[in-house]
Amino acid sequence: MKQSGKHPIFTVSIVCIILLLSSNNLFSRIFCNGSGSGYECPTCLGAESPTAIESMIIEGAGYYSQGNSYIQKLLNRVELQDFKEIDFSEMQVLVKSALENITNARLTYEKLVNKAEDTPYNPVVIERLKSFDYKTFMFENRLNEKVFKQVEGYLSAGDITGAFKHVLAVIKKIERLLIVVQTGMDFNRMEPFWKINEMCSEFSMFGSFVARVFYQIHQM
């Protein structure tokens, strides 16, 4: 009789791959997702057809998501260094992998900003952004006021490209901090790690709040 569950390691590996792919896809759906609809797209086939800008948003989010996963592993190792001796070879791999993905995110957003600057806005979407009740939305959803006010500043003015430029600027800061960590590899100097942790936390909220606003205005 053929036994079931004969290869548990293979089964677990398949599950992990599925979860990884699902998590990357989820992130792309919550980080600035939908903001590509704020631009005109004469070549799109319909309302559900993704614009070139939206495709780059998803691509950039995928790179950032992967880079941030390595950053979190890096921070975890730093956090536990009093209980577990740091493996410098592992840390070098984590920093290198994080930096590669964040660099790719930066390159993607540079292309995205250039494309956005050359693309006319969708006037219907811009009008919805300008008339949106940001204050009520923020309080009803109990959103972080500091970060949401940044989002409101861009979107209430119809400045979607400005929001993308903000994203690009933060990605560049994260990239520079990772270069500092990679160059120094001093795990007793906590300042760069604190900054990366705080920056990634607020940055992820910013992208999420942008996506929430666009999701809401498309329900109007």
- 3-class SS of residue 39: strand
Q: How far is CA 116 from the centre of its chain?
A: 18
Alpha helix stretches (DSSP H) within the chain:
8-30, 52-79, 88-117, 123-131, 134-140, 145-155, 160-184, 191-217
Residue length of the chain: 220
**Tokens 């906590």 identify what position?**
190
Res. 12 pLDDT band, cuts 50 70 90: very low
Considering only 14-18, 80-84, 181-185, 208-212, which range has the smallest mean pLDDT? 14-18
pLDDT tens by residue, 40-90: 876 654 444 457 899 999 999 999 999 999 999 999 988 887 677 777 888
Rounded distance, CA 60 to CA 54, Å?
10
pLDDT tens by residue, 79-129: 887 677 777 888 899 999 999 999 999 999 999 999 999 999 999 999 999
121 forms bridges with which residues in the sheet? 39
* Whether pTM exceeds 0.75: yes
- And the tokens for 133? 């009740």
